[in-house]
Amino acid sequence: MMSKSKSSLARGLRVLYIVPLVCLGLGLQARTVFVPTDKDSEKTVTQDGSKGILPEVVVSKYGIKDLDPTKVINTDDQFKATQIAVDPVWNQLDTPPECSENFSQWLTMRIQYPGDCLYTGTAMIQFTVDKNGKISDINLLKGVCEELDKHLVSLVEKSPSWTPAKKGGQSVAVKCVQPVIFRIAGLSQSASASTPTSLKNVSIEIGRDSRGDVTMTGEGKPLSLDGVKSFITSQGDPTSLNIRIKAASDIPMGFINDLKDELAKAGSLRITYSSPSQGEEVRRYMPPVAEEQTNGRDSKYPQELLPGIDRERIMIARINSLGKYLIGSTPTQDDKRILELCRSHLSKNGRSSIFVLQCDRGTSYEAYQHLQTLMYQAYTDERNEKALADYGKPFASLSEEEKSAVQQALPVIIMETGK
């Protein structure tokens, strides 16, 4: 999904921040879609960039009182999805297999995480979509516990129909892998072997030299795009790093997107945008991707990249190279009007709201960060209003449990694309 060439819309689409679900930094991909929850658990779907690895399903359990972390059994033992061998046929396909429904969301809506189950970890189920679009050869590559494993296998067996993959104009069978992550919200990090106990901040600053050329430093030392991967790995486990990007206001987003491409290839999961002028910071999550997946993506409209999602739920906010904003179908440079449009979208669609932030390669970092800051402000204002309506007090005065309920009702879903 990443390269140093111009990023296409599809290649640039990535989920970058979801609250509170991605607190463990397990977002893989490019795209994250929040789906309805029940009162005991919260579920998300995250798109991996690897061929053959279907969108991750993340199931988070809430509401366990007096949880004793020592009773929780984590089955991952540093397990990572990248350890799964992908069917080599994927590299030869004309078109991949496609489910008649969004399979990961279909699966998510049917998963039951028993309230008394204290197992956490990643289940990996492999299955074949045959030449007739039927599911066969279901194989549990990695399980969590007997109860959850049997439940997942039984759900995959009931999968909706698929359109088979095509190779050389002919239908072919291909193996797919479906990851499902089970976790318990509020569980201390020490109780999860696969969760880093702390994050290390690593700074990358982007500016210009006396000739006006873009320059970059990593932890104060000169850094090039070609050297980003080795720089990141020299700082430690990429998944335990928080990359703090600080750029001059006139740096083009094309360069920053190229940097993020390299960070993703290095396996970084977290970035923080810092504004040198206003001191504001915006945190985002991004996925690691396989390098062989960085080229050849077609440009598609976001709706095509989010199958099964109602177009009305998606608001696209565009910034061109002149710093002009187009919010939905409304051109405006007025901050108050931008907030009104974003809040109106949230008010209409609630937890189903999705924002897609799109910029040209020539868009300035200042204009880009200003718009995403306004988007976050819209979420803050709407959450505060909901807190007043539901609890009779502002969001800041709520208990942690009440805040969590409001956050679940209005999860932050801001995706970004690059041209």
Phi, psi of 87 (to 5 degrees): -55, 120
- Model pLDDT for residues 205-253, shown as the tens digit of each residue: 999 999 999 999 999 999 999 999 999 999 988 877 889 999 999 999 9
Non-local (6+) Cβ contacts of 397 within 8 A are 387
Q: Give 6's DSSP letter.
A: P
- Taking 70 as the threshold, does the pLDDT of residue 190 lie above it? no
- The CA–CA distances, whole Å, from 269 to 6, 29, 256 equal 22, 10, 16
Task: Count the alpha carbons within 13 Å of 300 in the hemisphere toward its beta carbon.
Answer: 12
Is residue 380 within a helix (H) or strand (E), and if so which, with residue range?
A: helix 365-391
How big is the chain, counted in residues? 419
The pLDDT of residue 210 is: 92
User: Which percentage of the chain shows pLDDT scores above 90?
Assistant: 32
Higher-confidence position of 404 and 318 = 318
Domains of the chain are 21-184 (no CATH), 200-293 (3.30.420), 302-418 (3.30.420.270)
| 14-18, 237-241, 332-336, 406-410, range with greatest mean pLDDT | 332-336
Query: Rounded mean pLDDT of 86-98?
Result: 85
Are the beta carbons of 288 and 268 closer than 8 angstroms? yes
In the structure, what pLDDT confidence band is assigned to residue 267 with cuts at 50, 70 and 90? confident
Output the pLDDT for position 108.
Answer: 78
pLDDT at 198 over 90: no
User: Tell me, what's the pLDDT at 286?
Assistant: 56
DSSP readout, 32-63? EEE----SSEEEEEE--SSTTBPPEEEEEE--
Which whole number is the average pLDDT over 93-97?
Answer: 89
191: Cα within 13 Å, side-chain hemisphere: 16
Q: What is the pLDDT of residues 22-76, one digit of tens each?
A: 322 322 222 223 333 333 444 444 444 356 888 778 887 765 666 677 778 877 7
With cut-offs at 50, 70 and 90, classify the pLDDT of residue 280.
low
| Max avg pLDDT among 43-47, 90-94, 134-138 | 134-138
**What is residue 18's predicted lDDT score, i.e. its pLDDT?**
33
The number of helices, as runs of H, and strands, as runs of E, in the chain is 9, 23
φ, ψ (nearest 5 deg) of residue 258: -65, -40
Whole-number Å distance between alpha carbons of 258 and 192: 33
Q: What is the pLDDT of residues 166-181, one digit of tens each?
A: 999 899 999 998 888 8
Kind plus residue range of the DSSP H or E element containing 126:
strand 119-129
pLDDT in tens, 334-355: 999 999 999 999 999 887 788 8
List the one residue out of 244, 259, 261, 252 whose CA is nearest residue 212. Answer: 252
DSSP letters, 403-419, are HHHHHHHS---EEEEE-
